[in-house]
């Protein structure tokens, strides 16, 4: 009877080798899954950045409609904590949050999640925004054809080719998210 009991006990117990094999297999599977998880998280952060730019694009469109079809004047260096509204009288224009705040742009909207991970080296820390406004369009009419002046001749440019807002640097795997004049966002 004692031998039968010991045989059953050996069958139910794991040996050290079996346990090490199971741990090795789990470690291998985790090692294969971790890069995919990291890549998925980076892609999700890039999508959040694109959503921020789309929201800025919607705010710009609303602002343009309220301002006689002209782009707003935005001062990239304006701190979001100060209230410096844009006025035609020549006062200093506000940043993205001040000018587009009435249209739903908040401090969270101008923060790219990838940029925020950079800490002290982030564009948000340096410029108080993860995104830069193209100053060439300050107070420009949306209805007038946009002209690119080359050294030889002026070239009309379609709004789908005009960069309004973009990341300061290529932080999305060396690429930038860009908001174009027609409202679409692309990665370059």
The domains of the chain are located at 2-187
Q: How far is CA 21 from CA 27, 32, 34, 38, 154, in A?
A: 10, 17, 20, 26, 70
Phi, psi dihedrals of residue 139, rounded to the nearest 5°? 60, 20
Average pLDDT over residues 57-85: 77
Residue 185 in this model has a pLDDT that exceeds 50: yes
- What integer pLDDT is reported at residue 6 of this predicted model? 58
Q: What is the pTM of this model?
A: 0.74
């Amino acid at each position: 009877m004692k031998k039968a009991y010991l045989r059953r006990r050996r069958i139910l117990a794991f040996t050290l080798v079996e346990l090490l094999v199971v741990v090795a297999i789990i470690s291998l599977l985790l090692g294969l899954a971790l890069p995919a998880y990291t890549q998925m998280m980076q892609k999700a952060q890039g999508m959040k950045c694109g959503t921020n730019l789309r929201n800025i694009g919607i705010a710009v469109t609303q602002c343009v409609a309220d301002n006689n079809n002209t782009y707003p004047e935005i001062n990239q260096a304006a701190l979001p904590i100060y209230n410096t509204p844009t006025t035609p009288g020549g006062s200093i224009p506000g940043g993205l949050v001040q000018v587009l705040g009435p249209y739903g742009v908040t401090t969270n909207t101008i923060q790219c999640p990838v940029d925020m991970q950079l800490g002290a080296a982030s564009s948000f820390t340096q410029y108080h925004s993860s995104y830069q406004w193209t100053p060439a369009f300050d107070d420009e009419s949306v209805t007038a054809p946009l002209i690119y002046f080359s050294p030889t001749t002026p070239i009309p440019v379609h709004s789908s080719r005009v960069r309004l807002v973009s990341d300061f640097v290529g932080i999305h795997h060396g690429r930038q998210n860009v908001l174009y004049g027609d409202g679409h966002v692309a990665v370059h």
